[in-house]
Amino acid sequence: MPELELDPCTIHLKGTAVSSGPTDVRRVTAPDAPPSTVHSEFIGELHFENEYPTEETVEKLFDQLDFQRSCQVFLRNITASSMYAFREGLRRDLGVTSPSQLVVWENQFDARSLLLTPNSETVYGMTYLDLKADGPTVAEVAPGMLGLVNDMWMREVTNIGPAGPDQSHGGRFLFVPPDYDGDLPPYGFHVVRSATYGLWFALRGMRTPDGSSAQAIELQRQTRIYPLAEMSDPRPMDFVNASGVDLDTIHPVDIRYFEDLAALVGEEHPEAIDPETKGMLATIGIEHGVSFDPDERMTRILKEAAKVGSAMALATSYRTRLPLQRYDDRQWIEIANTGYPYYEKDGHTMLDGLSLMGWFATGSSIAMVTPPPGKGSAYMWTYLDGKGEWLDGACTYELTLPAGVPMANFWSVVVYDVWTRSMLANGEAAPSLNSYADLDTNPDGSVTVSFGPEPPATGEKNWIRTVPGKGWFTIFRLYGPTEGYFDHSWKLSDITPIG
């Protein structure tokens, strides 16, 4: 047995022949050892000693790794944070803590309600179901309602109306928790299973041709939501009128974003999300069943990631690299090619589409992508004028709607705030116009809408006020789109700067 002869840096086996071998080898793809200083365009200098990174460099690399992962968590989970913040806003500002409380905007929707890109012309009814507390839950819906139900990651669970199993006939929906294995009624319900305990329940009632919302309100008030266990004696409904009330449902863009996300992951079913998303969340300390308690270093990183992640989300939404142009020669974009509502294409997840729509809007529904002719709704929006410049609240613009707008119901133009993505608070009753209003029409039947901080010399009825010092964007909606929309034969003008 040879004896060991120890040296501070080398070990030799006494009595063992020393073989000859290469001191260097040919490398094709294998890396060379780095120099003592490596310059990175994105994170600065990295320092190495005897081929190993210095402790300072290791700390810098881990900070950068955790920052990058935190930014990706922000972008990947905007939909979840939005759903959570919406529910918390209803609880905090309106006292809505039960599914049997349905929030209804009985008067015209205005800027006091901070929601992602709502329409001022429809009558919304919204609440959250709690399948963990209530078990299987029944929702009775009146005929003629449009609606959708999303889980807490804003994934489509079911539709209500033309694209839903009720086919606009209304009826009883039964929502079943993810871990429920008990008995269910054999018939009489549209049974819907959910991946999450929480569900966002949203209904839309349409105004009548004279612009009245009375019928839509009455339909909303026919809604009944109660646990299946209470079917023989359902709890009464409480309809909460949110009109004119200050309400904030927008997700935060600071450390609270990650705190909210951790709270949601903690309260939800452990299998609510896929393993890769769970793994990414776990790398920054967000895990089901584990307390979220970031230390000082990680708190600093998360604060920075919320700041940068929100700017990234805005950029991917407002300067999208996806092919979303509605027309080859106009700035208008549309929902097609985002991957919405499933964000899948050719076997992969469309991450940019997911963060774009999560930042921009609330709700996922296939009905918004493929509305039946004459039913449903279609959307076009823009952040840019005809020259490709951001829309500026200090400038004046015009938009022309050619004659023969292809619609069975009505159209609307609504102006939004860049960062809240809610209706622009411009001092008016609502920052919007619609075809129900008494608007001026041009001799050829077209309608010109003007935008700017001051009313135009003529056509003030067709004017939407903007705010100097603030950007804005707009959505054009068609309710009941008809042939001219689908074949692209009817085209909106660009928003054109005036003066």
Q: Which residues pair with 204 in a beta bridge?
A: 124, 146
Nearest-angstrom CA–CA distance, 481 and 40? 52
Helix and strand numbers, DSSP H then E, in the chain: 9, 27
Cα of first residue to Cα of last residue in the chain, in angstroms, is: 96
What pLDDT score was predicted for residue 2? 52
* Per-residue DSSP letter, 327: S
Q: Which residues pair with 235 in a beta bridge?
A: none
Nearest-angstrom CA–CA distance, 464 and 219? 31
SS3 assignment, position 313: helix
The angle formed by the CA atoms of residues 253, 254 and 258, to the nearest 5 degrees, is 95
Nearest-angstrom CA–CA distance, 54 and 59? 9
Tokens 């009825």 appear where?
A: 461
* Per-residue DSSP letter, 366: G
What pLDDT score was predicted for residue 19? 72
Nearest-angstrom CA–CA distance, 367 and 370? 5
The helix-helix angle for 55-76 and 275-283 (nearest 10°) equals 140
- Count of beta carbons in the 10 Å neighbourhood of residue 310: 21
What pLDDT score was predicted for residue 17? 58
How many CA within 13 A on the CB side of residue 485?
26
φ, ψ for residue 165, nearest 5 deg: -65, -20
Q: Which residues pair with 333 in a beta bridge?
A: 325, 381
* Secondary structure of 247-302 in HEC code, one letter for each residue: EECCCCCCHHHHHHHHHHHHHCCCCCCCHHHHHHHHHCCCCCCCCCCCCHHHHHHH
Nearest-angstrom CA–CA distance, 362 and 364? 7
In tens digits, what is the pLDDT along the chain, a chain of 499 residues? 555 555 555 555 555 556 789 998 999 999 999 999 999 999 999 999 999 999 999 999 999 999 999 999 999 999 999 999 999 999 999 999 999 999 999 998 899 999 999 998 889 999 999 999 999 999 999 998 989 999 999 999 999 998 899 999 999 999 999 999 999 999 999 999 999 999 999 999 887 877 788 999 999 999 999 999 999 999 999 999 999 999 999 999 999 999 999 999 999 999 999 999 999 999 999 999 999 999 999 999 999 999 999 999 999 999 999 999 999 999 999 998 899 999 998 889 999 999 999 999 999 998 888 788 888 789 999 999 999 999 999 999 999 999 999 999 899 999 999 999 999 999 999 999 999 899 999 999 999 999 999 999 988 999 999 999 999 999 999 988 999 999 999 999 999 999 7
Encoded amino acid at 262, one letter: A
What pLDDT score was predicted for residue 1? 52
The helix-helix angle for 55-76 and 78-94 (nearest 10°) equals 70
What pLDDT score was predicted for residue 371? 82
Q: What is the pLDDT of residues 115-131, one digit of tens each?
A: 999 998 889 999 999 99
SS3 assignment, position 57: helix
What pLDDT score was predicted for residue 374? 86
What pLDDT score was predicted for residue 33? 94
The model carries a pTM of 0.93
